[in-house]
A = this chain, B = another copy of it.
Amino acid sequence: MNIAQHLSTHDIKPSYQRIKIYEYLYEKMNHPTVDLIYKNLVGEIPTLSKTTVYNTLKLFIDKGITSTVTIEDNEVRYDAIMDAHGHFKCTSCGAIYDIKYDFKDVAMNELKGFEVKETQVHVKGKCNQCLTNKN
């Protein structure tokens, strides 16, 4: 995957910071917060500003190559995977798993006559690892 080209295709000029931020999102797939992105890149880009991370993510969202994930009320996370999918967050270890769901199964009866643009499915609980380790 050529990131610069991917950005260009979506009408985003591929600056150094933008490439690095998208690269982090896309390769780590860890649904990071702004703070996590900043902390992981500031070593490599010492002049990086948190404002740039905010600006860049907002731009990515506007251009449709990033989405937000808000499982916990107080933390916004970001995701470069744009296919419809849900998230499971383990309340014990904090890990976030991507889960597939069948879009048409989710309440579509109730929404006849409505125009659906976006669906988010969030599940919380304990992951199998934490269950076997009794965390």
Contact = CB atoms under 8 A, between A and B. Distances in A.
Interface of A: 68, 70, 73, 76, 86, 88, 91, 97, 99-102, 105-107, 109-111, 113-128, 131
Contacts of A105: 101-102, 105-106
Given A86-B106, A110-B100, A131-B115, A122 B120 contact: yes
A91 B70 contact: no
A115 B88 CA distance: 10
A15 B86 CA distance: 40
B118 A124 contact: yes
8 contacts: A86-B107, A99-B111, A113-B128, A114-B127, A114-B131, A117-B125, A121-B121, A122-B122
